[in-house]
C-alpha cells in the first residue's frame, strides 16, 4: 500500500484570543485531533463538509502551509508540509495548489488579470522566452473556453465572477499540480455557472490526474463532485466514507441531520417533518469534553458526554460515534 498523498495525523490547531492587561487569554481549538487521508493511488475528490466553525478552512490553510499545526502532523507524500516549504517551497507549490472562495478579492485590483497568469508562468518556470510564455497562457485559456481577446488586458472588476474563477482554473492547468485544495469555489457564483465550473474541475481531475480536497457546506455540491466525503463538527471528524453511500445511508447522527436538512429542487420531495422547538440549539454549544455533537444529538448517551469517540470502522465507513462501537 503506497503512502497516502495527503495525511493529517491527530492534528490540533489552537488559536489564542483575547488577552491583555490582567485578562486571561482563551484558547480556542479550531481543530481537535483530526485524522484525514487522501489516497495516492488514483485521483479522488474528497469533500470536506461542515458548518462554519467546523475547522474546514483551517485545514485548507494547514495544507497550504499558511499556518502550522499546534500538534500533530500534516504530511504530503510522507513529508511534513513545513519540511517541504523549508527545503524547496516552489517544489511544494508546484504539487499543491489552491482555489479560493471569492473570485473577486483574490485578484489585486491594481493589476490587470494577465498578471495572474504571466506571473505564474514566470514563478513556475513554465516557459523560457516571452513568446513561449504567451503560447502557454493562450493555450491554457483556450482549453478552458476563455477567449483571450476578451479577457486579457482587463481589470478584475471588468470580468464576471465566473470568468475570474475560470481564469484560476487556467492557472491550475498550467501548473499541473497533483493536489488542489478548493475552498468553496462556487459559493459566490451564480447557480447557472456553478455546474460549468464543477464540470471543468472534474475534467481537470481526469486530464491532469489530480486529486482535490473540496471544502463546502453544500451537500448537493459535495454529492456532485466528490468521491469521498468527510463530515466535520467543531474541529473533529464525525464520519467519512464514500460520498454516495454516505449521503444515501448516513450513519452518524450529525450526518443524518445534515442529510435531512438538504433542500432539494424537487417540489415533490419536500421536507415532511415539522419545525421542532429545540432550545438546546441555542448557540452551537461547543463542549469541552466528550463528543462534539452531544449537545444536539437525539441519541446521546452518558458516555458521549464524558469522552470523545474515536473513529470506528463500519462497512468501509469510519464513524466517530459510540452507537457504532
d(CA 23, CA 6): 39
Query: Between β-strands 45-50 and 228-233, what pairing exists: parallel, antiparallel or unpaired?
Result: parallel
Q: What is the DSSP string of 158-212?
A: GS-HHHHHHHHHHHHHHH--SEEEEESTTTTS-HHHHHHHHHHHHHHHHHHT-EE
Cell of 44: 479522488
Closer residue to other proteins, CB minimum distance, 14 or 284: 284
Interacting stretch for other proteins, rule CB under 8 A, among 2-10, 25-33, 193-201, 314-322? Answer: 193-201
Burial of 288 (C-beta count, 10 Å sphere; 0-12/13-18/19+): exposed
Q: Does 236 bind other proteins (CB under 8 A)?
A: no
Residues between 144 and 183 that touch other proteins (CB under 8 A): 144-147, 149-151, 153-155, 157-160, 162-163
Residues between 23 and 52 that touch other proteins (CB under 8 A): 51-52
Q: Does 298 bind other proteins (CB under 8 A)?
A: no
Q: Does 21 bind other proteins (CB under 8 A)?
A: no
Number of Cβ atoms within 10 Å of the Cβ of 262: 13
Interacting stretch for other proteins, rule CB under 8 A, among 24-32, 67-75, 88-96, 308-316? Answer: 88-96
Q: Does 272 bind other proteins (CB under 8 A)?
A: no
Q: Does 196 bind other proteins (CB under 8 A)?
A: yes
Instruction: Give whole-number Cα distances, 89 to 27, 37, 65, 73, 212, in Å.
Output: 30, 22, 10, 18, 20
Closer residue to other proteins, CB minimum distance, 29 or 221: 221
Q: Exactly one of 71, 271, 301, 310 binds other proteins (CB under 8 A); which one?
A: 271
Q: Does 15 bind other proteins (CB under 8 A)?
A: no
Q: Exactly one of 26, 27, 220, 315 binds other proteins (CB under 8 A); which one?
A: 220
d(CA 36, CA 58): 13
Amino acid at each position: 500500500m503506497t503512502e497516502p498523498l495527503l495525511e493529517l495525523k491527530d492534528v490540533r490547531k489552537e488559536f489564542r484570543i483575547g488577552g491583555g492587561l490582567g485578562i486571561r487569554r482563551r484558547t480556542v481549538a479550531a481543530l481537535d485531533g483530526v485524522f484525514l487521508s487522501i489516497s495516492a493511488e488514483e485521483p479522488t475528490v474528497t469533500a470536506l463538509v461542515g458548518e462554519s466553525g467546523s475547522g474546514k478552512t483551517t485545514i485548507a490553510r494547514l495544507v497550504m502551509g499558511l499556518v502550522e499545526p499546534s500538534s500533530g502532523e500534516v504530511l504530503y507524500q510522507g513529508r511534513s508540509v513545513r519540511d517541504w516549504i523549508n527545503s524547496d517551497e516552489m517544489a511544494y507549490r508546484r504539487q499543491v495548489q489552491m482555489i479560493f472562495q471569492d473570485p473577486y478579492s483574490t485578484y489585486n485590483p491594481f493589476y490587470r488579470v494577465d498578471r495572474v497568469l504571466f506571473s505564474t508562468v514566470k514563478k513556475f518556470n513554465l516557459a523560457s522566452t516571452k513568446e513561449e510564455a504567451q503560447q502557454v497562457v493562450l493555450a491554457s485559456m483556450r482549453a478552458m473556453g476563455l477567449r483571450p481577446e476578451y479577457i486579457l488586458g482587463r481589470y478584475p472588476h471588468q470580468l464576471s465572477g465566473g470568468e475570474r474563477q475560470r481564469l484560476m482554473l487556467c492557472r491550475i492547468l498550467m501548473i499541473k499540480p497533483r493536489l488542489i485544495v478548493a475552498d468553496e469555489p462556487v459559493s459566490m457564483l451564480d447557480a447557472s455557472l456553478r455546474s460549468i465550473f464543477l464540470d471543468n474541475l472534474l475534467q481537470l481531475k481526469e486530464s491532469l490526474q489530480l486529486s482535490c480536497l473540496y471544502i463546502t457546506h453544500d451537500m448537493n455540491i459535495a454529492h456532485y463532485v466528490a468521491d469521498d466525503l468527510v463530515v466535520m463538527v467543531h474541529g473533529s471528524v464525525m464520519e467519512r466514507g464514500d460520498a454516495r453511500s454516505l449521503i444515501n445511508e448516513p450513519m452518524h447522527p450529525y450526518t443524518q441531520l445534515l442529510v435531512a436538512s438538504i433542500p432539494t429542487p424537487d417540489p415533490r420531495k419536500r421536507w415532511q417533518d415539522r419545525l421542532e422547538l429545540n432550545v438546546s440549539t441555542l448557540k452551537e454549544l461547543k463542549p469541552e469534553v466528550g463528543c462534539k455533537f452531544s449537545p444536539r444529538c437525539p441519541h446521546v448517551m452518558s458516555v458521549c458526554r464524558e469522552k470523545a469517540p474515536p473513529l470506528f470502522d463500519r462497512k468501509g465507513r469510519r464513524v466517530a460515534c459510540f452507537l457504532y462501537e
